[in-house]
Structures are given as structure tokens and as C-alpha cells.
Amino acid sequence: MTRAQQPPAHGASGSREEALFGWALALPAIGIVAGVAIFPVLWTLWESLHLHDLRMPWLGRPMIGFANYGDVLTDPRFWSAMAHTGAFVSVTVTLELTLGLALALLLNRVNRARGLVRTIVMLPWAVPTVVAALVWRFIFESPSGLASTAAARFLTTSPPTWFADALAAWVPLVLADVWKTTPFVAILLLAGLQNIDRSLYEAAEIDGAGPWRQFIAITLPLLGPALLAALLFRTLDAFRVFDVVYVMTGGGPGTATEPIALYTFSMLLQNLRFGLGSALSVIVFGVAFVFALATLRVLNGVMLPDRQA
């Protein structure tokens, strides 16, 4: 072996030592993540394979395999809750991305008192979810409240009893979620807008491109990663919506506004069917995990197209 070949060998040995040292530093954090995140998931999976009903403790906790999953998948209430969740996610995320983008474009043009303006815009996001839900419930609950008074001016018929109608009850839920989380989306998209090189817009203006053409050809394509990130965060958050619904409607009237998270809560902590509730939790986790992986794969393809090729 020549002398010219010796340094790479020494460098490889040094790289292995650095890798081992890095793993040694990371092991405490990995242990904490495993204890806080991975262990509960595995325990929930194990629990879902047992018949565990606290209403009938004399039955014990016999292993029943995938029977709980069969009960869940044949329960019409489960599919109804999934449909409610899907509809809520579709409507709220679409509105939040649209309004958030419009708000981000406006904030990007603010030159004076930028910090103050952004602080004011973020105030709804800073309000605790339960407090926001109570405020919106008050707005819609009273027959002489703001919502009913405003609706009476635009409708030829009397305003609906918001929380007693299966369809009308979704209106305050959607508005409360959109009001609270649109500023979060706007700030994410604003960060993406500020990373776009201004010289691209100057060159487009020289070529005669108007504002709309610049938005379609420059802003939207370069804002793609930020839009996908906002889509991922908000979809996962909306998919597990619980507190807004629990405070405002409790899933009612009946189960007309019951999302999958509230249904799982009902099985676990109200009906005390831990085995069935654990199976529901595993299914919800699996759906969210698959969606997150798919979105991250698309996001990586957008941000690193050359590497993917």
C-alpha cells in the first residue's frame, strides 16, 4: 500500500469514530423518544388485540386478535365519524390555505410597523382553543346573538337554530377553526414568500408580465414547498380535531358533528371499552401516518427534484 493510499484509510477510521460518537450523543434523545412516543404506540397496539372492557372487569383481558378491528370496521358510527372528519378537513384546510395565502400576500406588502401588524394577525392563533370555541359558541348560541342577527338581515326565512340542526351546526365549527388557524398558515406562507428573490419579479416586469402573470408563473411555483408544508401541518391537525367540537357541539345534535377523535374518546373514556378504543386509535394513527409519509414524499420531490431524479 502506498503512502498516498494511507490517509483515506485513516480518514475512514476517523469517520467511523465520529459516527459512533454521534450515536453516543444521540442515544439519550432516542431513548426519550422511544419512551415517550414509540412505547405508547406499541402498548396501544397490544391493547387493541385484547378484550378490555372496564364495564365488565370479570371478563379479564383475553387475547382476541383482530376482533376489535372487525367490530370497528363494521360499525356505521365509525364510518360516519370518518366521513365527518374528512368533510371537516376538506373544507377547513381549503379555506385556511386560500385565506392564509391572501393574508400572506398582504403582509408581504406591509412596509411600516411590520412587527406590530404580524403580532395583531397572530392574536387568534395565540388564543387557547377552548377559549376560542367558547367565544364562537356564544356568538351562535343565542337567538339574538351576532350570528342570528346577521343571518336575519340576509335570509328571507328565520335564522336556523345553529346547534340543533345537523347541517347548520357545522357552520360555527368551521368558522371557529378557520378563524383560529388561518394566521398560522399565513405566517408559514409569508416565510416562503420572503425567500423568493425579488429580482425575478423585476425581470418579469421588464418582460411585460402583469401582477397575475407574476403570481402564476413565479409566486405559486416557488411557494410550492411552503404550501405543501402548510397543507401537511393543517391536515394532520384538522384530522385529529377534538377540542373545538367537544366544547361547541359535543358531537351533536346526536352524532351529526362527531369526528373520529371524539368517537375514539367516547369509546375509551366514556364507554370504558379500552380494547375497542385502542383499535380505533391505531386506525387513526395509521391513516395519519400514511398521509404524512405521502405528503413528505411529495414535499421532498418538490424541494429536491434533482436528487429524486
So what's the pLDDT on residue 186? 92
238 lies in some domain = yes
The predicted pLDDT at position 224 comes to 85
Identify whether 29 is part of a domain.
no
CATH code: domain of residue 297:
1.10.3720.10
Does some domain include residue 157? Answer: yes
DSSP labels, 178-207: HHHHHHHHHHHHHHHHHTS-HHHHHHHHHT
Q: Kindly report whether the peptide bond that precedes residue 8 is cis, defined as omega within 30 degrees of 0.
A: no
pLDDT at 309: 45
In angstroms, rounded to a whole number, what is the distance separating the alpha carbons of residues 228 and 97?
A: 10
Give the span between the Cα atoms of 249 and 238, in whole angstroms.
Answer: 16
pLDDT value at residue 305: 52
pLDDT for the residue numbered 11: 56
Asked if 236 and 85 count as a contact pair (C-beta separation under 8 A), the reply is no
CA distance 231 to 225: 10
Considering the domain boundaries, does residue 206 fall inside one?
yes
pLDDT of residue 246: 92
- Domain-embedded: residue 92: yes
Give the integer Cα–Cα distance in Å for 285 and 112: 44
Taking the CA atoms of residue 292, residue 294, residue 297 and residue 299 in that order, the dihedral angle to the nearest 10 degrees is -70
The C-alpha cell that represents 195 in the structure block: 425567500
DSSP 249: T
CA–CA dist 66, 71 (Å, integer): 9
Range of the domain at 210: 77-308
* The pLDDT value given to residue 121: 84
Q: CA 196, CA 188: separation in Å to the nearest integer?
A: 14
List the end-to-end C-alpha distance of the chain, in Å, as a whole number.
38
Q: Give the count of domains, the chain.
A: 1
Model pLDDT, residue 99: 94
Low-confidence ranges of the chain (pLDDT < 70): 1-14, 143-145, 152, 155-157, 159, 301-309
State the pLDDT at residue 303: 60
Task: State the pLDDT at residue 1.
Answer: 46
The whole-number pLDDT of residue 304 equals: 56
In a domain, 40, yes or no: no
pLDDT (0 to 100) of residue 245: 92
User: Does 11 map to a domain?
Assistant: no
